[in-house]
A = this chain, B = another copy of it.
Amino acid sequence: MRIDMTNLEDFIRGAAFLGTGGGGDPYMGRLMLQHQFQNGRTVNVLEPIELADDARVVAVLTMGAPTVINEKVPSGQATVAALRKMEQQLGCKFEAIMPIEAGGINGTLPLVVGAMTGLPVVDIDGMGRAFPELQMTTFNVAGLSSSPNIVADDKQSIAVVETARNIDAEWLCRSLCIRMGGECQMACYPMRGREAKDNGVLGTVSLSVEIGRVIRVARKEQGDATQALVDFFRGERIGREARVMFDGKIVDLRRETRHGFSVGRVLMESLDGAGGVMEIEFQNEFLLARRDGKPVAMVPDLICLLDRETAEPVTTENLKYGQRLKAVAVSVPPIMRTEQALRVFGPAGFHLDVDYTPLEQLDAGLR
């Protein structure tokens, strides 16, 4: 599979949808990759099956608050430096790289690094969506170590962080990230192809392209792009639960950059006559949606805010008072919902005071 100028916009828009408010601004992500293509570079995306079992593969990403990353878009050079440092530490050459998550920037950056280095990007990641913390991956749930974690900035500072627990790596790398200005480039979770295929989320890049295409086609046909997306997810091939939870406008927004994260909550009032209010809490990503105080969707199920007219995904740092949005929820595959997975990135992983209830068992709200 190729990502090139013909499907770049679809890919980025879909990646931003799966980013559930986080993973970075899709506009920035598009510029980053476009810049590579305009310089004549290309990137090869491997299907998971194309990755050899014994191939060395590693995740690359930007860590940081989206509010900061928007001001200081990664060039990829420090990301490549992190990758090379990882190779030096392990005494090996990687045969492929992978995203750690979906999202406007973190879904795109591995492709930028692929274009810069010539390494293929395999369509496997550790979240299948975006989460704010390093240990919130299916790799971690499966017991794979993120170490060594390489952290680099663009002032020639680079750190190698090794920890017994991946949550300690998050804790330590985040502190470096904050002192590097709220953003840093990382390489982590080095592993073999077999481990990635067995424990990762497969096909997030190709799913992103499909999501983007559904939105684009619906817009072109002047249909309801949000409804088209819901139908796409509910269709037989994908087979997930999906629903429009709310149709409203933002009447209150609290957001701050705290401990290196963009943290807050957004409050919406109904526009479609259904009444009521929806409140969504976020930490880089949307975590928990409540309608009139009652939970209607929660991590790890996807909560996405889309422009009411165009279904353009809106990231948490781009939320504004008065925006008219639809709130969409989509269920996640079973690998994300095991007891162990929920401990890591379910409500308990975020210290949210609710028990996890799958989306399909919650009151559907509007419909």
A interface residues (Cβ-Cβ under 8 A, vs B) = 155-164, 168, 171-172, 174-176, 178-180
Cross-chain contact A156 with B163 (CB below 8 angstroms): yes
Contact A157 B175 (CB under 8 A): no
User: Within the oligomer, what is the number of copies of this chain?
Assistant: 2
- The A interface, classified by DSSP as helix, strand, loop or mixed, is mixed
- Which residues of chain B have C-beta atoms less than 8 A from A174's C-beta? 179
Q: Which residues of B contact A175 (CB under 8 A)?
A: 175-176, 178-179
Tell me if B159 and A160 are in contact (CB < 8 A): yes
Residue of B nearest to A168 (CB): B157
Chain B nearest CB, measured from A22 CB (Å): 22
Min CB distance, A149 to chain B, in Å? 9
In the complex, the chain B residue whose C-beta lies closest to that of A169 is: B157
Q: B162 near A171 (CB under 8 angstroms)?
A: no
> In angstroms, how far is the closest chain B Cβ from the Cβ of A254?
26
Q: Is A172's CB under 8 angstroms from B159's CB?
A: yes
What B residues does A163 contact at CB under 8 A?
A: 155-158
A157 near B179 with CB under 8 A, answer no
A180 to B171, CA, bound (A): 9
User: Quick check: B172 and A162 within 8 Å, CB to CB?
Assistant: no
Instruction: Name the B residues within 8 Å of A159 (CB-CB).
Output: 159-162, 172
B-chain residues with CB within 8 Å of residue A168 when the two chains form the complex:
155, 157
Counting from the closest, the 8 A-B pairs by CB-CB distance are A175-B175, A156-B164, A160-B160, A157-B163, A159-B161, A175-B179, A158-B162, A157-B168
Chain B contacts for A178, CB-based, 8 A: 175
Q: Which of chain B's residues have a CB closer than 8 A to the CB of A161?
A: 157-159
Among candidates B164, B171, B176, residue contacting A172 with C-beta atoms closer than 8 Å: B176
In angstroms, Cα B172 to Cα A161, docked, is 12
Determine the distance from Cα of A60 to Cα of B173 in the docked complex, in whole angstroms.
23
List chain B residues, Cβ under 8 A from A171.
179
